[in-house]
A = this chain, B = another copy of it.
Amino acid sequence: MIAIDWGTSSFRAYRLDATGSVLDKRSAALGILHVEGGRFAQALQSQVQDWIEAGEQPIVMSGMIGSRQGWVEAPYVPCPAGLEAIAGAMKEVQWLGRRGFIAPGLSTRDGDGVPDVMRGEETQILGVLDSLPASGALICLPGTHSKWVEVKDRRIVHFATHMTGEVFAVLREHSILGRMMSGAATDADWFDAGVQRAQQSSSLLHHLFGVRARGLFGELPEGAAASYLSGILIGHELASARSGERPVYLLGSSELAGWYQRALRQVGQACIALDPDAAVRGLFILANRLTGR
């Protein structure tokens, strides 16, 4: 089969054998925003023509490819939702006699009735269900828009998104804080100081100005300011999202996941790292469900 993780900015393709092992993989800067005029079939063939001609099927996709801006919209499935509901809401695309299947995203509503959405993460979670206790687990997926997901009895029950990564990026690039920063967020001590700052009273909006004031007073080196800001933002996310006694399952392969692990440890939160190749595994499970295997 062919598994495609197709997001806003990147395209990742995997050729899998009947046991789900990866035979080959490819990636390209062919996210849905970079595919002109909706020519998704052509984009897909440009990347994996040879696999298709070799007879690999089915082709299963997840991520923003199923959004309104993607190939075909696969509407959000409301939580709670597990494998059956997600597989049942997949959308089929056909071209030149070939067939592809696109996974839907999920939606939920929080205590205030405000909606929340994910697209792509649901497939990753399908890929790790076997590693989670049936009694329930809280999963954190760090990212531009971090997700905190409650799973119980093999279903995604609820989730909450935090705009942490994007807020970091816009403050870094476009606010007065960015002007006092140089380099990337790589200073562990200052990251820790930011996490600690976030655990204390007062609001994020005040803590952000503190970054500026510490800089003005020569108490925050330029090369450390991005790390301090990152720690403050992730620390505020943890203060709101973490769950007391229960361990947090962390799902992410990026360097960012390492920073989350560090922050969780600092606030005394047990943390279990999950297999970061969960997306491929989730697509394999969806493919098996579709073909009745």
Contact = CB atoms under 8 A, between A and B. Distances in A.
Interface of A: 107, 110-112, 114-117, 145, 160-164, 166-167, 170-171, 173-176, 197, 200-206, 208-210, 212-214, 216-217, 219, 233, 236-237, 239-241
Contacts of A171: 167, 170
A284 to B, nearest CB: 29
B116 A210 contact: yes
A116 B204 contact: no
Nearest to A105: B216
A203 B239 contact: yes
18 contacts: A107-B213, A114-B210, A115-B214, A116-B213, A161-B209, A162-B209, A163-B206, A163-B209, A166-B176, A170-B171, A170-B174, A170-B175, A202-B240, A203-B204, A203-B240, A204-B204, A204-B236, A205-B233
A14 to B, nearest CB: 28
Contact of A112 (B116, B174, B200, B212): B200
